[in-house]
Amino acid sequence: MCRSAPNSPGPSPSPSPNTGVGTGTIPAAVRALVPAHAACAEALTLAKTSLPASLLYHSFRVYLYAQAFARLFHNDNDPPAPDSAPAAVLFVACILHDVGTAAAHDAVPERFEVVGADVAARVLRAHGFPEAAVRDAWLAMALHTSPGIAERLGGTVRAVRLAVRADFGSYPAPRPETLPGGAEAMNMIRWKLPRLEIEKDLGDAVVRQAALDPLKAPPASWPGDLLRAKRAEPEWQGVNKGF
């Protein structure tokens, strides 16, 4: 997903108490940036109850970055810039893009990206979104670890991919003035949505599932890269070297 993410210099300390499932809290000022749509409320509840704090905060940062990228790269061939319903689709895609790593989905024999995309599609359909919007979100989530593909598709797909890359440091983060909420939103990203141990937690979650079911980590995939790296150095306890 992001080859430039820093590796830990050595074995990590004991897990942070902030990384347990359901421990993340979204401050009121950050929650105010969530689109006022029932699909968004349902998606946020799913993320909060399924993901550890590090993945929840990462997903919210991705949403804020994705909004900026959607506006920055908008052209006449893309869907409209985020504003109500399109913004709700973008939020659902971002906040659930890693939900496939949750233990509830361990038994589903698909990559976590696809599992999360299926979850989001069900949420959007339940709230009456058109199939074109559902497909847009599904592709954005299913392809968010696919370098050189998502970037070329434009719209929501590109916005989510670039936002994920920006949060892991392999693409420049958007300027504060381009974020919804401007400089204040950037301050919230820095102080209200801490990174914790996102690289380690996400890598470990993907490998944990892959060890249970190899179908979750096809050889030519990012999960497959993580699994190979773990098998090559099973004693390594830092950030997965395939990250």
The b/e string for 151-189 (b: 16+ C-beta within 10 A; e otherwise) is: bebbbbbbbbbbbbbbbbeebebbeeebbebeeebbebb
In a domain, 207, yes or no: yes
| Stated pTM of the model | 0.88
Q: Are residues 53 and 122 in the same domain?
A: yes
Q: Are residues 77 and 145 in the same domain?
A: yes
Separation CA 91–CA 2 (nearest Å): 22
Q: Are residues 207 and 184 in the same domain?
A: no
Examine the fold and report which residue of 196, 211, 230 is the final residue of a domain before the chain moves on: 196
In a domain, 20, yes or no: no
- And the tokens for 63? 């949403």
Examine the fold and report which residue of 196, 213, 228 is the final residue of a domain before the chain moves on: 196
Contact 165, 171 (CB under 8 A): yes
Q: Are residues 192 and 204 in the same domain?
A: no
In a domain, 192, yes or no: yes
Contact 115, 91 (CB under 8 A): no
User: Residue 218 is part of which domain span?
Assistant: 197-243
- And the tokens for 29? 């000022």
Q: Are residues 187 and 220 in the same domain?
A: no
In a domain, 46, yes or no: yes
Number of structural domains in the chain: 2
Query: Quick one: pLDDT at residue 26?
Result: 87
CA distance readout (Å), 236 to 31, 79, 175, 230, 233: 37, 44, 36, 7, 6
Q: Are residues 75 and 142 in the same domain?
A: yes
- pLDDT tens for each residue of the chain, 243 residues long: 544 333 333 333 334 434 588 778 888 988 999 999 999 999 999 999 999 999 999 999 999 999 999 988 876 555 444 444 589 999 999 999 999 999 999 999 999 999 999 999 999 999 999 999 999 999 999 999 999 999 999 899 999 999 999 999 999 999 999 998 888 889 889 899 999 999 999 999 999 999 999 999 999 999 999 999 999 999 999 999 999
Q: Are residues 79 and 92 in the same domain?
A: yes
Q: Are residues 77 and 142 in the same domain?
A: yes
Q: How many CB atoms lie within 10 A of CB 17?
A: 8
